[in-house]
Amino acid sequence: MGRLNRCFDALRTRGRKALVPFITAGDPGPEQTPALMQALVESGADILELGVPFSDPMADGPDIQRSSERALRRGVTLRTVLDLVREFRASDTHTPIVLMGYLNPIEVMGYAVFARLGAHEIDPVFLLAPTSSEERIARICALARGFVYYVSLKGVTGSDKLDTSAVADKVRLIRRHTALPIGVGFGIKDAESAARIALISDAVVVGSALVSRIEALGNGPNLERGVRAFMKGLRAAMDGMGPGRVRESL
Amino acid sequence: MQGSVDTVSEAMADARVGDMLPDRRGHFGVYGGRFVAETLMKPLQELEDAYQRFRRDPEFVAELDADLAHYVGRPSPLYFAARWTQCLGGARIFLKREDLNHTGAHKINNTVGQALLARRMNKHRIIAETGAGQHGVATATVAARAGIECVVYMGSEDIQRQAINVYRMKLLGASVIPVESGSKTLKDALNEALRDWVTNVDSTFYIIGTVAGPHPYPMLVRDFQTVIGREARAQCQEQTGRMPDALIACVGGGSNAMGLFFPFIEDSSVALYGVEAAGAGLETGRHAASLCAGRPGVLHGNRTYLLEDINGQIIETHSISAGLDYPGVGPEHAWLKDTGRASYVAITDAEALVAFHDLTRIEGIIPALESSHALAFTAKLAPRMERERIIIVNLSGRGDKDIHTVATRAGILL
């Protein structure tokens, strides 16, 4: 059983939803990444989504584009990303790590090499979108492992168009086709929206909002502290304890 | 009227039965495909379905033929460049005069076709990416005529280099959005157009300007451009009584080359030459020759030859011609290269400039810098061929847009 399955099993037992922060590996610099990952886990992350920087991030909005450019300027490659994961694994063997990126760096490395360097248990996490037909949802769910990632809106990462009730409808439809946990990402930018999405899904992915904080904090002394504070706000709201708590049930 | 025999449906009937490419999933061998965000899978399928339906619809075909004849000005002449042929002292050189089309390049053949599709699909907003601005102008033109909102993405570097085309687009009523990300050129404009499309997918039709991008675009754009090759074939028969021996066209994304080559692919006696931009020279690394110096990868929705570093990051390209300044190439060219059906060569900025001046002074035709790459290779090939041989060169665009670039290189301030 993979780390993702174990993680979701444990969360279910505790009645808790997964908080999945996204950061770009090597942003602001590769030397910060393992410590940042650790800080994310300590401040409430259940799963880490790690962006593999690419020169042409077509599905990403400006925040993640810029983070990708910062990492590339620091010379981060797919190999660097795998090395950073290995470094993190020296102190944390259980937190699942999901890589998110574009095909070409893997294509160039070679799929066999990537699989060998990557891990023994790779779960392919597929994305579904508002435009996915029911027939396509069924086909994709049949192939998916770990969890299914629902892209909450028509747009790029960091968009401003989150419509919770539309997301809820689609998540219900997806549930008819899979017993896997369903994560939702894109457009979730604060404690309040994280709490709303937590009520209707199994995992909440927060990317651009976190990455833009990392950009603002830069290499400064408050980087980790700022990230922890943001994460704790999300966590508390999702667990129904924070100021962003949603009272009415959706 | 030649337009009456040159229909899209006939182009498809001409095509090889049995081994028709792309295959059902948009592949040319291992190249092509549909590598896009999940959100775009549905609109791409809808576009493919609409195209399959309308390309057999007599009303659509008749409207397209009428637009090509009366709005674009087709057929474009096949012109025997007698004086240049004499100067080079070899094969007879014919120029396919796409520079004489409305808006001054072959790009309009594709945009009139896609605009007809957009209207039938009830899309009321058109977006496009552009490098040199020729495709942007051709898109803004058809959008103006259809009364549809038009947004063109253009790298801020290219906006600097192509100020006149930017103003033309604005005169035509298009919004030109500068793209500041990445290398600020064509590839980044394509990224930004894809981001727009994923956001406004219900209302928007994306007119891609070349034979690249996710399926069905490489097929769709090729089919709309094959009018070039079908006319050239008939005109060559009519004027010389025989088939050409070689076809030469420049290749950035490769739409003018695919349009010329495609109707001749089954004729193995016709040599096909695609000419890429060698920029400052292939050995300098400052070029845009993805087929000559790149390797296969995945970008902008398809697998094809790319210019990339050892880690799979796309690298910046260099060419005097903004229209060839692209790190990828249409997947069908990748396939033609691997199968050996077409040969791909590269011409430097300096060589292209010589050809630019030669054609201007010898034939009184100012060619686009893109087309000048094809001309420069012609000047190398023709003297090596016998005098009764025939070369057709695609003169894909006129050079008015480039006179600032040429003057600047010569140290002249206009």
**pLDDT for A246 beyond 70:** no
Q: What is the pLDDT of residues B41-57, one digit of tens each?
A: 999 999 999 999 999 99
Q: Among A59, A104, A133, select the one facing B298 at the smallest CB separation.
A: A104
Averaged over A134-146, what is the pLDDT? 97
With residue B109 as reference, give the H or E element that holds it: helix B107-120
For residue B198, the chain A residue with the least C-alpha distance is A155
Q: Please state, rounded to an integer, the average pLDDT across all residues of chain B.
A: 94
B17: pLDDT strictly greater than 90: no
Closest approach of B332 to chain A, Cα-based (Å): 19
What residues of B act catalytically? 87, 106
Q: Which CATH superfamily is domain A3-238 in?
A: Aldolase class I (3.20.20.70)
> Is the predicted pLDDT of residue A91 greater than 50, yes or no?
yes
B314 contacts A104 by C-beta, under 8 angstroms: yes
The contacts of residue A240 (CB under 8 Å, 6+ apart) are A195
Q: Do A105 and B195 touch (CB under 8 A)?
A: no
Average pLDDT across chain A, whole number: 94
Q: Give the three-class secondary structure for B339.
A: helix
Q: Which residues of A touch B303 (CB under 8 A)?
A: 107
What is the bridge-based pairing of β-strands B78-80 and B92-97?
Answer: antiparallel
Is residue B146 scored above 80 in pLDDT? yes
Contacts for B129 with CB less than 8 Å, ≥ 6 apart: B135, B136, B152, B153, B154, B186, B189, B190, B192, B193, B208, B209
At B19-43, the pLDDT tens digits run 589 999 999 999 999 999 999 999 9
Are the CB atoms for B406 and B356 separated by under 8 Å?
A: yes
* pLDDT score of B292: 98
Q: CB–CB of B199 and A72 under 8 A?
A: no
Q: Give dist(CA B302, CA B272) in Å, integer.
A: 23
**What's the pLDDT score for residue A118?**
72
Chain A residues touching B38 at Cβ < 8 A: 127-129, 131-132, 151
- A154 and B311 in contact by Cβ < 8 A? no
List chain B residues with CB under 8 Å of A55. Answer: 182, 313-315
Sequence-ordered list of residues with C-beta below 8 angstroms from that of A34, at least 6 positions apart, any chain: A84, A87, A88, A91
In tens, the pLDDT along A147-195 reads 999 999 999 999 988 999 999 999 999 999 999 999 999 999 999 999 9
Note the pLDDT of residue B4: 37
- Our CA-based measurement puts residue B158 at a distance from the nearest CA of chain A, in whole angstroms, of 18
In chain A, which residues have their Cβ closer than 8 Å to the Cβ of B155?
Answer: none
Is the pLDDT confidence value at B9 over 70?
Answer: no
Could you tell me the residue ranges of all domains in chain A? 3-238
Q: What are phi and psi of B34, to 5 degrees?
A: -145, 80
Long-range contacts of B166-170 (CB under 8 A, 24+ apart): B166/B133, B168/B133, B168/B137, B168/B140, B169/B133, B169/B136, B169/B137, B169/B140
Are B311 and A128 within 8 A, CB to CB?
Answer: no
Q: Which of B38, B204, B206 to mutate to test the interface with A (most CBs of A within 10 A)?
A: B38
pLDDT of residue B1: 33
* Percentage of chain B exceeding pLDDT 90: 91
Mean pLDDT of B311-334: 95
In percent, how much of chain A has pLDDT > 90? 89
Q: Return the pLDDT at B173.
A: 98
pLDDT at B273 over 90: yes
Q: Residue B285: pLDDT above 60?
A: yes
Q: Which residues of A are catalytic?
A: 49, 60
d(CA A211, CA A84): 18
**A interface with B, Cβ–Cβ below 8 Å:** 54-59, 61-62, 65, 69, 72, 77-79, 102-109, 127-133, 136, 151, 154-156, 159
Cross-chain Cβ contact A155/B35 below 8 Å:
no
Q: Do A79 and B42 touch (CB under 8 A)?
A: no
Among B181, B187, B311, beta carbon nearest to A105: B311
* Arithmetic mean of pLDDT, B315-331: 94
Q: Which of B39, B200, B296 sits opposite A131 (nearest CB)?
A: B39
Question: pTM (2 decimals)?
Answer: 0.94
Chains A, B: CB contacts within 8 A come to 93
For residue B296, the chain A residues in CB contact (below 8 A) are 107
Q: What is the mean pLDDT of residues A225-229?
A: 97
The three-state secondary structure class of B32 is: strand
Are the Cβ atoms of B187 and A56 closer than 8 angstroms? Answer: yes
Instruction: Give the residue from chain A lying closest to B306, CA to CA.
Output: A104
Q: Do B38 and A132 touch (CB under 8 A)?
A: yes
Please state, for a pLDDT cut of 70, what percent of chain A lies above it.
Answer: 95
Whether the per-residue pLDDT at B370 is higher than 60: the answer is yes
Nearest to B297 among A57, A59, A108 (CB): A108
Q: Is the separation of the CB atoms in B200 and A159 below 8 Å?
A: no
CA distance A247 to chain B (A): 31
Q: Cα–Cα distance between A74 and A68 in angstroms, integer?
A: 10
pLDDT at B13: 44
Select the residue of A59, A65, A103 nearest B298 (Cβ to Cβ): A103
pLDDT-derived band at A119 (thresholds 50, 70, 90) equals: low
pLDDT of residue A120: 64
Bridge partners for B97 per DSSP? B395
Q: Pick the residue from chain B with its C-alpha nearest to A101.
A: B37
Q: Give the tokens for residue A82.
A: 């795998």
3-state secondary structure of A186: coil
pLDDT surpasses 90 at A115: no
Does residue A245 surpass a pLDDT of 50?
A: no
Q: What is the pLDDT of residue B161?
A: 80
Give the C-alpha separation, A95 to A47, whole Å.
Answer: 6
pLDDT tens-place string over residues A43-55: 999 999 999 999 9
pLDDT in tens, B155-172: 998 898 888 899 999 999
Q: Which residues of B touch chain A, with CB atoms under 8 Å apart?
A: 35, 37-43, 181-182, 187-188, 191, 194-195, 198-202, 296-300, 303, 306, 308, 310-315
User: Which tokens is A38 given?
Assistant: 């650790």
Q: Is a pLDDT exceeding 60 seen at residue A247?
A: no
Could you tell me which chain A residue has the CA closest to the CA of B304? A104
- What value, to the nearest 5°, has the Cα angle with vertex A149 and ends A146 and A151? 175
Mean pLDDT of B124-140: 95
| Mean pLDDT of the region B224-230 | 98
Please give the pLDDT value at position B2. Answer: 36
Quote the CA–CA distance of B170 and A223 in Å, as a whole number. 44
